[in-house]
Amino acid sequence: MKNLQKEAIHVLNNNWKDGFSIPCANLYPFQWFWDSGLIAIGFAHFDMKKAEAEIETLLDAQWENGFIPHIIFHTDSDSYFPGPDFHRSDLHPESSKKYKSTGMTQPPVTGFVLEELYRISSNKEATLNFLKTVIDKVYFNHEYFYKNRDPKGEGLVYIYHNWESGTDNSPIWDDIWDTMNPPEYTFERRDTTHVDASQRPSKREYDHYLYIIDIAKEHNYNDEKIAELSPFLVQDPLFNSMLIKSNESLIKIYQLIGGHDEKVKQLQKWQEKSITNFNKKLFDEELGVYVHYDLRNENPLRYISSSSFSPLYANIPSKEQASSLVKVMMDKFGNENQYLCASFDPTNERFNPKKYWRGPVWINLNWILFNGLSQYGFKDIAQRVKQDTIEILENNGFYEYFDSRKEIHDTGKAGYGGNNFSWSAALLIDLLN
Ligand code: DGY
């Protein structure tokens, strides 16, 4: 175990680039929003300065309206498509003047990451002093979401692009692709020169991804226009769980700091409305889990994915709902031939255990589920998720995602996508400590 941890530290130090981390070499050569947050949790265990710098750099790229972009292009690199020249986020009048970035965001993990840094820190006073310097920026980011991404005032924010979900090519989006007919773009894929194409999204899927960006660009990334026109507009249970968990963390940290009553009150208000409507709108009684809601076409997307269980981490489900989530997880995802937790329902015909977010196990979701299950007292299943995670990484190394079928692991070739992947290493360090 010591060796695995040593290797993980080595991966993180190698992916460190003077102030921020890349998710992995070649495939993802810049800074990604939710990667950065989760990577900081790993660094906090052995190098708090780097953890703090990671967050500082991320927040330094915040726009004047509070928005934080999903990729910050710190360097020129032709190994990635689509780069800054395609995204053109500078069209937005309030975009960062200092950094090139995309004009979309990613699951807002920063709030709970701040709380994690405090939990892990052996010098609480110093860490609290650091938190004081950054927390208002995270609050401002939450304010951006509630002001601009919640047109009906439901306390549930939308995402306008599948890349904002973090679960890029989930089969859930297939239903939305069916409502669109984008042009055939001509472009050179870079990802498939680094990774086997069978593990990545298809060319036709990329046409959809680019087309949504083009629509946003046509309107200079104006949020109101996007809400009106984007063919992709989804209330995502994972994304909203990350926001709600982060709200909870901001409340706790502000209370530790003291003297921020107005902000605490506002966060509590958001929290109440968000949790109530989350349970009302996103819990599917028949399936017994949370599902996504397609706000553009006004219908629920009734599929079960690892995102369906993520509200456990944000303390959203009632005890009964939590039991129902666990039952579905164990029935469909957790038999003895499967590692927990596949990213998409293994009993569904759209399941593909090798293809990115269409089935493989992801370490970040396992970490979220481990913590969520522990909070609700499902100790044995939490332990199983943790054990599975360690075994997967021991068998294969720090890949980006992994086959959920145990039989494939006997070959030692069940790791897919990028190798030496930062958050796989970072979250393993956290699980072991
Ligand atoms: C990619 O390039 O596949 C990234 O996941 C986008 O965020």
Confidence at residue 238, expressed as pLDDT on a 0 to 100 scale: 99
Short-list 389, 419, 368, CA closest to 167: 368
* Burial status of residue 336 (CB atoms within 10 A of its CB: 0-12, 13-18, 19 or more): exposed
Q: 163 in ligand 1 pocket by Cβ < 6 Å?
A: yes
When pLDDT is averaged across residues 419-424 and rounded to a whole number, the result is: 98
Residue 163 CA: which ligand 1 atom is closest? 7
User: Is position 400 annotated as part of the catalytic site?
Assistant: yes
∠ CA 101-103-109, rounded to 5°: 85
CA of 134 to the centre of ligand 1 (A): 27
From ligand 1's centre to the CA of 168, what distance in Å? 7
pLDDT at 412: 83
56 lines ligand 1 (CB under 6 A): no
Mean pLDDT of 68-95: 96
pLDDT tens digits for 363-412? Answer: 999 999 999 999 999 999 999 999 999 999 999 999 999 999 999 998 88
User: Is 7 annotated as catalytic?
Assistant: no
State the amino acid at position 97 in one-letter form: K
For the stretch 337-348, pLDDT in tens is 999 999 999 999
- 346: which 2 tokens? 């293994």
Query: Which residue has the least CA distance to atom 7 on ligand 1?
Result: 163
223, 294, 400, 430: the catalytic one is 400
- The helix or strand, by DSSP H or E, that contains position 423, with its residue range, turns out to be helix 422-432
pLDDT score, position 78: 85
Q: Residue 79: its pLDDT value, please?
A: 87
> What distance in angstroms lies between residue 151's CA and the mean position of ligand 1's atoms?
27
CB of 205 closer than 6 angstroms to any ligand 1 atom: no
Specify the ligand 1 atom closest to the Cα of 70: 7
DSSP result, 192-253: HHHS-GGGS--HHHHHHHHHHHHHHHHTTT-HHHHHHH-S--EE-HHHHHHHHHHHHHHHHH
Mutate to test the pocket of ligand 1, among 28, 35, 199 (most ligand atoms within 8 A of CB): 28
Task: Please name which of 364, 341, 342 lies closest in space to residue 353, comparing C-alpha atoms.
Answer: 342
Atom of ligand 1 nearest to the CA of 71: 7
Residue 168 CB–ligand 1 contact under 6 Å: yes
Testing ligand 1's pocket by substitution, the residue of 160, 168, 416 carrying the most ligand atoms inside 8 A of its CB is: 168
What gap in Å lies between CA 422 and CA 23, rounded to an integer? Answer: 5
For residue 32, the ligand 1 atom closest to its alpha carbon is: 7
Query: What is the 140 CA–ligand 1 centroid distance (Å)?
Result: 25
Is 78 exposed, middle or buried (CB count within 10 Å of its CB: 0-12, 13-18, 19+)?
exposed
pLDDT band of 199, cuts 50, 70, 90 = very high
Domains of the chain, by residue range, sit at 2-432
pTM assigned to the model: 0.98
Q: What is the pLDDT of residue 77?
A: 87
Q: What's the whole-number mean pLDDT along residues 33-38? A: 98
- CA dist 233 → 68, 154, 359, 386 (Å): 18, 14, 23, 34
ipTM over the 0.90 cut-off? yes
Q: Stretch 277-295: mean pLDDT, rounded?
A: 98
CATH topology of domain 2-432: Glycosyltransferase (1.50.10)
Q: Return the closest-CA partner of residue 184 out of 202, 162, 166.
A: 202
The pick from 71, 163, 203, 422 for probing ligand 1's pocket by mutation, whose C-beta has the most ligand atoms within 8 angstroms, reads 163
Residue 1 has pLDDT above 70, yes or no: no
For residue 410, the CA-to-ligand 1 centroid distance in Å is: 29
Residue nearest to atom 6 of ligand 1 (CA): 163
State in Å: Cα 21 to ligand 1 middle: 15
Give the chain's mean pLDDT. 97
The mean pLDDT value for 309-322 works out to: 98
Helix (H, G, I), strand (E, B), or coil: what is residue 173? helix
Q: Per-residue confidence at 169, pLDDT binned at 50, 70, 90?
A: very high
Rounded Cα–Cα distance for residues 113 and 117 (Å): 6
Q: pLDDT tens across 221-265, in order?
A: 999 999 999 999 999 999 999 999 999 999 999 999 999 999 999
Hey, whose CA ends up nearest to atom 4 of ligand 1? Answer: 163
Q: How many angstroms separate the alpha carbon of residue 125 from the centre of ligand 1?
A: 37
Q: Which of 168, 174, 205, 394 is catalytic?
A: 168
Give the pLDDT of residue 2: 64
Range 48-59 burial, b when 16+ CB lie within 10 A, else e: bebbbbbbbbbb
Give the bridge partners for 403, in sequence order: none
